[in-house]
Amino acid sequence: MRSSGEVYDIQDTEYMKNLLNLIKKSDPVLISSVILILLIGCLTLYSASYQRSLITGKSYILTQVCWIVIGFIVCFVVISVPYKKWIAAGPYLYAAGLLLLIAVLFFGSVRGGARRWFTVAGVSFQPSEMIRFGLVLILSSYLGQRLNEKHSYKLIILGFLMAILPAILVLKQPNLGIAVSFLFITGVMLWVWGLKWKHFLTLLISGIVSVPLIWPFLREYQKQRIFAFLNPEKDPLGSGYSIIQSRIAIGSGEFWGRGWMHGSQNRLNFVPEKHTDFIFSVLSEEFGFLGASVLILLFVIFFYRCIKIALQTHDASARLLVFGMASSILYQLVINISMTIGLVPVVGIPLPLISYGGSNMLVVLAGIGMILNISARRTVF
Amino acid sequence: MNNRIKYFGLGIFLFLFTLIIILWHIQVLKNEKYLLLSEKNRIRLVPIVAPRGNILDRNGVVLAFDKHFFELVAVPQDLSKNREELKELAKICGVDVEYFHKKIKERFVAPFYPVVLLRDVELSKVIKIEEQNIRFPGIRVREVFRRYYPQAETFAHIIGYTARPTLLEILTTEEFITDEDWIGRSGLEKTMDDVLRGKNGGTQVEIDNRGRMIRTLSWKGPEPGTDIRLTVDAGLQEFGKNLLAGRKGSIVVLDCSSASILAMVSSPSYNPNYFVSSDNRVTEILNDRRSIMLNRSLLPYPPGSIFKIITAISGLDKEIISPSQTFQCSGSIDIGNHRVHCFGARAHGNVNLHKGITDSCNTYFVNIGKMIGVDNISTYARIFNLGSPTGIELPFEKGGLVPDRIWKKKKINEDWYTGDTANISIGQGYVLTTPLQMANMALLVANNGISFKPRLIKTETNQNKKVSILSPEVFLPLKGAMEDVVRRGTGRLAGGDGISVAGKTGSAQVDNNRSHAWFIGYAPVKNPQIAFAVFLEFGGRGGEEPAIIAKKIVQYWMENSR
């Protein structure tokens, strides 16, 4: 690993010093917003998993804190390696991700009818999270090096294929939410890259047109969820249950919230999947409109800083990288919140930095590490 | 590239801002809706049924009360998983364990809501179960009430009966009622339901998404219903019931000083307890061809000759006739195209008012009726509170019918004929009255024009007094005649043995062979205490059985009233 070049060419003892230096040079506001979001997340998760812990005897909050710590270590590792090297490693990571996605379809463990996880020594992780990382890296390098080929259809189609390929594999698991996220991230990156309006619209329209083509491939429960989203009252105890109960939880939070650990919808288990996908409902019930808005505002600050970093860097690949990572987090945030208030169908997308779950926490923190990486090196030409 | 980034950033902020606005809408503007929904989600009520008020007669004899029973219930969430205890319990109760399993499955409402396994558990079994109650988690014996009517048939038409409410009633009744409540279905149980029912209490419990009870939030005790004291005398009612045994008819006895109902018998009767225990004999009651559930005291019948009292009073009060005025009776008179015979087709000769009443001479009344006219007769009939319900505290009371020109035009679309007037003046034709109305008419005569609204529920003061516009003098010749009806006229069988009764007989012809029999009157003659009406459906002549029954009633009252 210790090759020549840039900041990396240093002695062991100076590694930590150098790392701290890098963090100092990166964006403190962004780091602060992330830490505050994590704090809110831990508080909410404690309340949401309290009873579950009593039953299962497993401390969800402790596990989550462990993942956060590991996530920070991963984050530091990401920062310490210059982003250019990461971009160079992109195709390999992407290919490895694809292989894992294929492997998980055969060897993955099944939970709730979906084959999404690898479980090693009691710890499970989702390869679909990892491929997102690879996808952003490969697209950054691919598009970043071809700034003058914006008219090339071949280029656009190839770029999009990079998203379609893992999307199809993830749909097989099935995981509609993540599959769509690949298309979203690619769309954002193509847009920032400078895709012509005409092409962008063509892609968008063909995307919309292809929705009915996807329909026959959806699982029955996915169709149910879409129907339930369109009319949740129709089956209030069945597929519409989650949406209705989630909305009740959010609405009954009112302005100030019912108080930490005092949400009745949460405590009495009316909110489904409340420590993972529906944790926003618990947060909104217990911390009210105030808490929910503070969380969204913290994310606004986070994205604002991301955009600032992107504008300050003059490396096109780095800029695309920031946007890829940020849009991956944005997608999760928007879809998750929209899902809990019934704006989009229920899809299994966790709330970034808040929901319980290791692999997502790792990928999100790694992504943030990549953004900080660029932030720390933005003045280095 | 820079501009695109800025647009994109703007897009993000706009979108996240929209999310905040949506949250504001849900959490601040629509908060009440969702707060209510979340309360609905988590709070349930386990009702505690309020005991119903008792119904007592004027002397405190209990006519309806809540009898206590033991019920075996199971709380599904507390039952042990393998339900071993049910087997043992079934052994004690002497039933098959499958029966319990079936009940739990059928009657399951929520895990916290007790399911009734067995009703009417014997005390010996209750003791056995309670002794070992540690071994039966989730099993409880609880005390419940059930309405009971100790006098059974005697008061069925007055008290009525209760039954469990229907699902629709549970959902639509403003007051909180449950399927463990008793709701009045007829009689006083129905009309006084609000007073008798009381207010249910309940335990508010917090439940989770699977309906398991988490904790008790609050408890509110039930408010028992109010007792009702009736004006009825249980002894007289029982006596009257026995007099009518095996017959169709009615006896109404009123207290002259207030029109309080002392007895109101309708025969045949039914046992209201059958309804309460959802006995299969209920179908027998409902299908009985004698219509035993009808309260005959409140049903309209043609009054026949007892209506002559109204005809006489209207003539006297209007001064159209005088008591001494006479008419020749040859034993029959033609009304329109049919002939009305006097009693036994006997020629009464020269008939004045006194003789007209005592001998119930149809010829006399047809003649004076024509003079008085239908307008006067119907007006006076209404002064005697006929043609509309008396307003007694019972459901399904009928008002009867006082016909007049307007009614006939509207209903039959025919003009009023003299023949109609002749018919009404002897209580035939269209006129219909209830036994209760007739007893009240007798009371009005006895009181020289002072009447009351008949009532069943005892109150401290009587505000129902009605003074009619009639001059008291008009009653004198009539009362003298009614005295002689019993002394030497058509109602002789009601008198004798030192009994002082004034009355009037009536036989209302229904068809060629059959007639309803009436006897109304008051006693004692000088200082009337009670007024009454005895009615027998297809009972023949009023001077026979009804008169005998009236005598016995008066006799009983005189012997037992003090």
A338 to chain B, any CB pair closer than 8 A? The answer is: yes
User: What does the pLDDT read at residue A201?
Assistant: 83
pLDDT band at residue A238 under the 50/70/90 scheme = low
The complex's ipTM works out to 0.87
pTM equals 0.65
Nearest by CB: A334 against B9, B15, B37 = B15
Residues 203-262 of chain A with CB under 8 A from chain B are 245, 247-255
Local structure of residue B499 (DSSP, 8 states)? B
Kindly report the nearest CA distance between residue B40 and chain A, in angstroms: 10
H helix intervals, B83-148:
84-93, 97-107, 123-131
User: What does the pLDDT read at residue B545?
Assistant: 94
Residue whose C-alpha is closest to residue A204's, from A181, A184, A218? A184
**Residue B114 to residues A255, B118, B179, Cα–Cα distance (Å):** 38, 12, 13
User: What does the pLDDT read at residue B7?
Assistant: 86
The amino acid occupying position B187 is G
**Residue A129 to residues A60, A164, A364, B297, Cα–Cα distance (Å):** 20, 15, 9, 86
Helices (H) then strands (E): counts for chain B: 21, 21
pLDDT tens, position by position, B58-98: 999 999 999 888 888 988 888 887 777 888 888 888 888 88
Mean pLDDT of chain B: 89
Are B31 and A188 an interchain contact pair (Cβ–Cβ within 8 Å)?
Answer: no
A341 to chain B, any CB pair closer than 8 A? The answer is: yes
Are A265 and B38 an interchain contact pair (Cβ–Cβ within 8 Å)?
Answer: yes
Are A323 and B8 an interchain contact pair (Cβ–Cβ within 8 Å)?
Answer: yes
Kindly report the nearest CA distance between residue B76 and chain A, in angstroms: 19
Find out whether A216 and A222 touch, Cβ atoms under 8 Å.
Answer: no
Query: Which of residues A305 and A271 earns the better pLDDT score?
Result: A305
* A252 chain-B contacts, CB cut-off 8 A: 31, 34-35, 37-38
pLDDT tens, position by position, A147-183: 877 777 788 888 888 998 999 888 888 888 888 899 8
Dmax over CA atoms of chain A, in Å, equals: 66
Distance CA B263, CA B297 (A): 10
Q: Which residue of B3, B4, B7, B12 to mutate against A (max A Cβ within 10 Å)? A: B12
pLDDT tens, position by position, A315-360: 889 999 999 999 999 999 999 999 998 888 888 889 999 999 888 9
Distance CA A378, CA B90 (A): 81
Structure tokens that stand for A101 in this block: 């996605």
The amino acid occupying position A33 is S
User: What does the pLDDT read at residue A323?
Assistant: 92
Mean pLDDT of chain A: 85
* B19 chain-A contacts, CB cut-off 8 A: 296, 334, 337-338, 341
**Residue A298 to residues A151, A236, A301, B9, Cα–Cα distance (Å):** 38, 34, 5, 15
Kindly report the nearest CA distance between residue B181 and chain A, in angstroms: 30
Residue whose C-alpha is closest to residue B191's, from B438, B389, B465? B389
Distance from CA of residue A125 to its chain's centroid?
14
Are A299 and B42 an interchain contact pair (Cβ–Cβ within 8 Å)?
Answer: no
Give the residue carrying structure tokens 């193509």. Answer: A190
Nearest by CB: B2 against A254, A284, A311 = A311
Nearest by CB: B13 against A194, A288, A300 = A300
Find out whether B425 and B372 touch, Cβ atoms under 8 Å.
Answer: yes
Nearest by CB: A191 against B4, B6, B37 = B4
3-state helix, strand, coil in chain A (%, to 5): 70, 5, 25
The three-state secondary structure class of A121 is: coil
Are B207 and A337 an interchain contact pair (Cβ–Cβ within 8 Å)?
Answer: no
A264 to chain B, any CB pair closer than 8 A? The answer is: yes
Nearest by CB: B31 against A188, A251, A343 = A251
CA-based nearest residue in chain A for residue B7 = A192
CA-based nearest residue in chain B for residue A333 = B16
Distance CA A334, CA A351 (A): 9
- Crossing angle of helices A241-252 and A220-230, rounded to 10°: 40
Kindly report the nearest CA distance between residue B175 and chain A, in angstroms: 28
Per-residue pLDDT for B46 more than 60? Answer: yes
Kindly report the nearest CA distance between residue B78 and chain A, in angstroms: 18
Nearest by CB: B37 against A248, A255, A304 = A248
Instruction: Please give the sequence-ordered ranges of beta strands (E in DSSP) within B330-488, or none if there are none.
Output: 332-335, 338-341, 349-351, 450-452, 465-467
pLDDT band at residue A113 under the 50/70/90 scheme = low
Per-residue pLDDT for B119 more than 90? Answer: no
